Structure 1
């Protein structure tokens, strides 16, 4: 009787149902483990920095400025290739945006939205919201003001002149913000040290009375700037100082210089203290006309040329 049961059609049906139930629960358990990241399926992550935020608004009517123009996006997903593709600008699908088409004027916080994100990829945006200021659009022409920081002018140098390729530029900003613009500055690059003349392109920026940068669109955004420098200097006479012992057969020693004046370079305070440069010549043992090369030095300055030829002419006693 028992053997007939195990070989009966009913037994085979019962067995099939049993295994179907087992497979069903096993499949669901696997799915749950995957969602909880406790299975062998790895979750791949990547962080993408400086992702630009696209602002959607009527640019013909409004001027929009933000507290930041980019965000960081943390990506995660089970497909490594998808994550890798989304980290590269060349293969990226997703982008960040804020729709301001129905927003009111003023400053408010708006959420950043991630768009075109592939299925199976999760994105967390930092920050998730940013402050946006919406104003009526305004335009005005401003003169360009060159700016050179004092720290960029080495000791002993001074700026003699500055030339700009553009004297004025067109500026677009918010109706309220544009009234706060004090100047459009052409800043010498911070890494430039004016030991020589500078000639290059510089960025323009709008600043208020305190020098704070204001949001504005400047056209052109960059101009050519030429800064001419010279070393602080002045010309002073050379004074001969005779030292040593005059030969007893001589009544005196005449001197003449290859040049009567010399240039000195240095800080203004040091230059102001010097009225001449001394050429010290030892006349000991000199009984006939002789040319002597003498070093020239002065405290706190550079002397050029730093040597001078002095001609000594003995005066014989009568």
Structure 2
């Protein structure tokens, strides 16, 4: 028997089978198919990595409250076996979160937490805690207004009223944020100057009275905006405005323009108030017939004018001054004529001497009557002469007044006041800029030189207006003996409620 076992033990195949069996048993005892080979921790092979911009998820009652103060992302520092750190950094399959499911309304300090991270790793979150505010959730409906820059409209074209596929949106947020809402705008962005109708999906912006963007949810977030763009123009006469006075020896016959009408372009609101353009002729520089090239002057708000230049033909009469030699000749002629008349008179007197002597008695008898009549006639003549002189003076004064030139000047930046604003509201005039406008004044020169901004009062009446943005006609009070026109006829004012 011992020989049999010795023979088996000494056999090489038997020893090979025994060795294989022992190896197989050892493998089965060590290997676990459910265990990841990466979990094997090799001493001295640890690593530390910072994973940036990990989103933070917030768990809270989304139906009744809103949460503010939670950062959108945080940085996470991972420590542990290098293989685990690298896998977590690449996959980012862990989650950083804040649990506010049972939080009460108000402010509180909460800890950021992490889940779905290998238990072989340690994690440090930066920041580790945050101060959050839990607020009551409110949803309200607001009107939407389209907003775009007029600079995006080509010269000579005007934008019509914007049309939105939805004029209202629902805005959800904290109650105190909802109370701050002053403007809800659909922002239309146009590259360059357009001449065609604008159609665009515009994003909604919610702003407070200081034009700060508010942290609220808007439904829908965009609306479709259509803005018609059309060319607008109008033909108006070109008026001639005379400035200054002609030299003393020059009188004006006529001023004619080669073109009497101009085509202007601008918005409808501007064109409806513009009735004319003008050219200005400086008479003080006119000494003879001449043709001037003059710019056509337009009112504020008018974008273009055609033509921009016109030719003005000025015709005058120039009275030449008499020379001293001509005056001397005239004086000599007058003296000669007077001498001849005197000689003739003396001859007539001699021939009538006899007749006068014979009638002396008759003349003496009538002396008293003639003296009385002459005295009466003298008095009447004196009275008539005084009346004639007074009438002449009056006529000369009237002629001087009627011949006085009419001029124009512009008073710049005349302030516009706001009247009738309720004490519970605030008013911000957004147009015209700086709350002022220019006034073009036309009057006779003697009156115009004394006219200043202080002679005019401009204001808008908002007594019947409530919260929101409004366009209001600008009203003006001024002197009765001048004519004027405003550069801006309408003002835009935003009325907001005061903070309680």
Q: Do the aligned partners of 2:60 and 2:101 also contact (CA within 8 Å) in 1?
A: yes
**2:57 — aligned with what?**
54
RMSD: 5.5
Q: Do the aligned partners of 1:83 and 1:121 also contact (CA within 8 Å) in 2?
A: no
Matched, 1:188 2:191: no
User: Alignment partner for residue 275 of structure 1, among 265, 274, 277?
Assistant: 277
User: Alignment partner for residue 47 of structure 2, among 43, 47, 51?
Assistant: 43
Q: Do the aligned partners of 2:277 and 2:297 also contact (CA within 8 Å) in 1?
A: no
In terms of fraction of residues, the more strand-rich structure is 1
Alignment of 1:61-140 (within 5 A): 62-77=64-79, 78-79=81-82, 82-83=85-86, 86-87=89-90, 91-140=91-140
TM-score, normalised via structure 1 length: 0.54
In terms of fraction of residues, the more helix-rich structure is 2
Q: Do the aligned partners of 2:186 and 2:223 also contact (CA within 8 Å) in 1?
A: no
Q: 1:264 to 1:217 in 2, by over 3 A?
A: closer
TM-score, normalised via structure 2 length: 0.37
**2:437 — aligned with what?**
none
CA-to-aligned-CA distance 1:146-174 (integer Å, 9 cap, x gap): 2637xx44399775422222112223334
Secondary structure at the counterpart of residue 108 of structure 2:
strand
Unpaired runs of at least 5, structure 2? 1-41, 241-255, 281-292, 312-500
**1:19 — aligned with what?**
none
CA-to-aligned-CA distance 1:200-244 (integer Å, 9 cap, x gap): 22333444444444443322122223345678976444689xxxx
Q: Do the aligned partners of 1:236 and 1:277 also contact (CA within 8 Å) in 2?
A: no
Q: 1:148 to 1:199 in 2, by over 3 A?
A: same
Q: Which has the larger radius of gyration?
A: 2
Query: More relative contact order in 1 or in 2 (CA 8 Å, sep 6+)?
Result: 1
Matched, 1:262 2:259: no
Q: CA deviation at 1:97?
A: 0.9
How many pairs were matched up?
A: 250
Q: 1:165 to 1:45 in 2, by over 3 A?
A: same
Secondary structure at the counterpart of residue 161 of structure 2:
strand
Alignment of 1:1-318 (within 5 A): 31=43, 34=44, 41=45, 43=47, 45-49=49-53, 51-60=54-63, 62-77=64-79, 78-79=81-82, 82-83=85-86, 86-87=89-90, 91-140=91-140, 142-146=141-145, 148=147, 152-154=149-151, 160-174=160-174, 176-177=175-176, 180-183=179-182, 185-188=184-187, 192=190, 195-196=193-194, 198-228=198-228, 235-237=235-237, 260-264=261-265, 275-276=277-278, 303=304
CA-to-aligned-CA distance 1:28-85 (integer Å, 9 cap, x gap): xx94xx3xxxxxx573634422x3321112323x222222441232444553685466
Secondary structure at the counterpart of residue 59 of structure 1:
coil
